[in-house]
Amino acid sequence: MEKLPTGRDKPWLAPLAGYSDLPFRLLCREYGAAVCETEMISAKGLVYAGRATRDLLATDVLDQPLVAQLFGAEPEFLRKAVDLLLKAGFIWFDLNMGCSVRKVMRQGAGAALLADHDKAIAAAMALLSAAGRGRVGVKLRLGVQGEQALTPALCELALRLEDMGAGWLTLHPRTARQGFGGQADWDALAGLSVRLSLPLLASGDLLKAEDGLRCLDYTGASGVMYARGAMRDPTIFSAHRALCRNMCPQQPDADILYAVILRHVALARAFSPDMRALRKMRSVIPLYARSLSGVRVLRDAVCRSATWRELEDVLAAFFLTGKS
């Protein structure tokens, strides 16, 4: 059976709410992302045909391989959502058991599933029964609250998911209560990695490509999934692949960042031409340029841009003449 590419030199892009839309995924692929995931999608929202949910599923022939990440706690909605996605051409799926956002956990979804492993297994089985063995991954955290450590209960859940036919697992080694605070527990990744036969992807505190390689060396994980690191710098994927070849990656200076931003703008204009895309770019650009001198001036000018032409003029003034 066909498998998704995993391995030391095949970094993935995480499902990033508000960020990993089609233009951003295509940008990351151009810089070397081996696999991308959609933004987190509500199974119930998809079944009820919400417009916002449908928009998250926009894709393109160049956007492959693509994993659709779903969240939900009710097996019947998860199963129906997969059926709809299969009809739309999707073949790879991921079940979110890691989201710590309160409104998701209040539904019993995301990381809340880790508080009831029977419900977690039922949710995973719903996806697997619809999609088939090997075509579903599961995103995990260490638990809802309590000690930040790999517990026997989480190991048992992971092994049950493996036996059921999960194709891969991803572990963000923090509890839901921690959110993104504290430090990711790479010892937990190492402890789970040796217990599994299926691929385990590492997530958490991978802000630079060097972090990804250190994590792989320390944990023995099958691969890495970049989240915040990719949001800040999509060239993290090319840097990761360069390090895997024992090459020195290019540092993202102002010229490289300008090229990244222009390419992201071009993709946004091509695939998301309405004003929502422009508003999103106004928040993304300052994040890319956060380390540059004068970024506050750039942020103010970008936020005042009402058209794509105005935005491009602001960027040219900042990066080419320094007069934004």
Task: Please give the positions annotated as active site.
Answer: 99
Q: Mapping DSSP to helix (H, G, I), strand (E, B) and coil, where does residue 214 land?
A: helix
Number of other CB atoms surrounding residue 197 within 10 Å: 7
Residues 6+ apart with CB under 8 A from 172: 98, 139, 140, 141, 184, 203, 204
Q: In Å, what is the CA distance from 132 to each residue of 127, 165, 287?
A: 8, 8, 39
Relative to beta strand 136-143, strand 200-202 is unpaired
By the 10 Å C-beta count (0-12 exposed, 13-18 middle, 19+ buried), 116 is classed as middle
Residues 6+ apart with CB under 8 A from 209: 229, 236, 237, 239, 240, 242, 243, 249
| Amino acid identity at 270 | A
